């Protein structure tokens, strides 16, 4: 049985996967906003701006992906 990205192992729609996807897309948007605003300033320090954007992405998207990792392990354990 083939499942889609937003479906759990058993084939049911998974709201947690949808929320994680939305969080990752939002973090990409926030990161782009930080990069655009930071790099268009007159005396922009490229290293500081890119470090801030990368840190923001890791904090927001990383927490969503860690949650999904734990959720997937629980789904597999529940199926057995």
User: Mean pLDDT, to the nearest integer, of 5-32?
Assistant: 85
Residue 34 near residue 53, CB atoms below 8 Å: yes
- What was the pLDDT predicted at 73? 87
Counting the structural domains of the chain, the total is 1
Q: What integer is the mean pLDDT of 1-21? A: 76
Is 28 among the domain residues?
A: yes
The phi-psi region of residue 61 (left if phi > 0; otherwise alpha if psi is between -120 and 50; otherwise beta) is alpha
On whether residue 66 sits in a domain, the answer given is: yes
- Is residue 55's pLDDT more than 70? yes
CA dist., res. 68 & res. 17, Å (int): 7
Q: Quick check: pTM over 0.85?
A: no
Mean pLDDT, range 48-62, rounded to an integer: 95
Does residue 3 lie in a domain region? no
| pLDDT tens-digit readout, 22-44 | 999 999 999 999 999 999 988 88
Mean pLDDT of 53-80: 88
Q: Does residue 6 fall inside a structural domain?
A: no
Q: What pLDDT, on a 0 to 100 scale, did the predictor assign at position 23? A: 94
């Amino acid at each position: 049985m083939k499942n889609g990205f937003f479906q759990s192992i058993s084939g049911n729609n998974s709201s947690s996967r949808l929320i994680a996807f939305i969080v990752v897309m939002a973090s990409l948007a926030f990161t782009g906003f930080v990069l655009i605003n930071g790099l268009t300033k007159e005396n922009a320090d490229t290293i500081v701006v890119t470090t801030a954007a990368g840190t923001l992405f890791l904090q927001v998207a990383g927490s969503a992906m860690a949650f999904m990792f734990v959720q997937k392990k629980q789904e597999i354990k529940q199926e057995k």
